[in-house]
Structure 1
């Protein structure tokens, strides 16, 4: 894979940062109908306790603004009570029109209570002064100036936050159902962020990526967070965070459009229900010119809605196909990993047997060497003793030399 130069990287960061800072909901969105977009984009963070959501907000602020004084940080540890059971809700602005809301909701993704609570937060039914129940846990508001405590804000982009360190062994059962729930409700799939990638093992990150893809999440961003020990972010992580914000902008606009036509469809169904099964608004010759134009606009709107519905159906089919493909890829990868592990285990066993055999051979050679060395020493001692006896006999004047044949030391 080709690497991008540092200058190109910084240029891309500046370009996306300008887009983010200049963003307003609905800007550069072209539609056949006039749609009222919200004044601000609210991004909701959902994740287990300790996955790094508060630090992620600080990192997003740094990436969006290019700098962040420590006095402007969102507090992390001091906002949680001992044991991690109570957590203050937090809201922070990245720009004048982009806000991030910190909420939990993935400690047990399969729980129906969690789905209901997330739905309430997505619809803006939760303010910042009330306590929110997460399966018996209390979540309170963090005091933020210029924010109406009693008023919630509809979340148009949901972001799931996972830690490459703390969530690698978590239970992901039910996550795919939560993803489908959000897609049906928002018209868009959620985004996922993997934090702590700068201090995690690459293999753990790859496993987490595979699990999230199998669960139906396609947009996944790997990021590092600002901490007390790391007050600045590398350029690549800044780019990843800015890409995340830009993706949230797109999802926010798409969700607003989806919600608009969803309301239009409900209103049309309600109007048809009022007319009754036999009554139908049929245009006649007495219909005014304005009425005829209105009917034409309605027909065009319905035609566009049908096209949009078919487009979403095709998109859903593509997503389902991609999801099944990723499931097969994950299973194939898991099978290959098992086969590779068994192969390495067999090779390791064979290598161990070879080492044991070689060790036994070396021990046998060492014993043989010591035996031969001892034997040579004994022969040398016997030869020395024989020479001493012969010298003693010669000095006494004996006329003959005794022939002494010691075992192992023949006399020539």
Structure 2
């Protein structure tokens, strides 16, 4: 079996109606700081069931301003998973806070509830808890919320738009966290090119997030100096105040138009990804040297299916991971490693005395993991091509 195109581990699907939605904004009066961003925010809020959605230029930007709104600063600490993209930990460091890491659970690949509980009990200085919903599978947020007490909980749900908690509620609804951050990078189930959003049910946090998104500038009359903002009863239309040190983290209306169009397809996209995962699960369950992750029926039902990861018994098949990656590339199959753990990054090695021995589950996963193609328009014959190619390469 051959394929006509390269199969990356993930890719966007932009259709004609998505293009027309963007063209419509491009032909309009406002391509940024216009009404389309607000429409997109309302649509996200409605989809996840949250009171507020604050669109930003990337999920990294969202995590950053969420950490600022949570009060992270020098002398404070945040805690997260080592199995994540560097942005999760970096957002805390941008605020000058210290970063703590705890090992993952072998079955879910999310932060270990038991290890997190021990760390929180051992270190009362931790003020922010940031669980990561790895590959789209939500962490056990009910337990995390309970043990976090009055600490601020920020969900890094960059992988998990459209996923659901064990109770059935949508990720991002605010039931178990103070803020939740999603990503719209092109490899995610829906895209705005680059972009992200923070959801919250807290009015005060939402106000802060909007300020930090736009240079720390306030325009709402109720928060302005009345002696400066008014002449008599007339509000000066040009007046604004920079009340905080914020950032230019805005999403454009061009991007929001694409996001709105894509959001209408999210359920279809996730169903397609679920079907791909089912095909992989069935095929790999019969192969002794490949272990697919997060395969329980309950996990598959709740996941956003951003990634499909496997672990390969490299020593038993006599191949290195690099050799497998190269062989798959010859079959036009692209792969990736998700992720090089945070504690292995030079910056964090210098910053903290992390040791691989402190993270045995993460390290075991990392040494043999591989992400294989899963995306919205991956066809059944292409899925079979990935399966058959892996069988050929790994057969012993």
Structure (1/2) with the larger helix percentage: 1
TM-score range, shorter chain: under 0.3
Q: Which has the higher contact order (CA 8 A, sep 6+)?
A: 2
TM-score, structure 2 as length reference: 0.27
TM-score, structure 1 as length reference: 0.26
